[in-house]
Structure 1
C-alpha cells in the first residue's frame, strides 16, 4: 500500500469513527474483518478518493450494513 492510499484509509477510518461514534480501532477491526478494507477501499482508492466526504461515509456505512458489521 502506498502512502496516498494509507492516508486515505486513515481518513476513512477517522471519518467513520466520528460519524458512527466508535473508536478508530473498532472501525478498523470491522472494516478489516469484513473484507471491506482490503477488498474494497484499498483497491478502489482511485475512484473513492474523488468522492465527497459525505458520500464516502454514506457509501461505506451502507456497505458495512450489507456486510453485517453495523
Structure 2
C-alpha cells in the first residue's frame, strides 16, 4: 500500500469518525472539511502525527479545527476546550 493510499484510508476514517460523533452523514462532514481546507491542510499535512493518536483525540482535533473556522456549523453549545468537570458530559 502506498503512502497516498494509507492517507486516503486515514482521511476516510477521520471523516466517518467525526460524522459518527456529530450524528451527521459522512458526505456532509467531508464537504465541510474540504471547504475549510482540512483534508489537505490538516489531516494529510499532519498524517504522521495524527495517525498515531486515538480516535477521540483525532475527532476532537478535527472539531477544534472546524470550530475556529466555522463554529456555526457545529452543534449549538459546542466548546472546543473541555474542563475536567465537563469531560463526563456529551458536548456533541
TM-score range with shorter-chain normalisation?
A: over 0.9
**Normalising to structure 1: TM-score of the pair?**
0.93
Q: Give the aligned partner of residue 14 of structure 2.
A: 12
Structure-2 separation of matches of 1:55 and 1:29 = 21
* Alignment root-mean-square deviation, CA: 1.2
Could you list the runs of 5+ residues in structure 2 that have no partner in the other structure?
75-92
- Where does structure 1 differ by over 6 angstroms across 4 or more consecutive aligned residues? none
Partner Cα separation in structure 1 for residue 45 and residue 64 of structure 2: 18
Gaps of 5+ in 1: none
How many angstroms apart in 1 are the aligned matches of 2:68 and 2:23? 19
| Of 21, 24, 31, the match for 1:22 | 24
> TM-score w.r.t. structure 2 length?
0.72
Q: After the TM superposition, which residues 29-48 of structure 1 pair with which residues of structure 2 at under 5 Å, given as runs?
A: 29-48=31-50
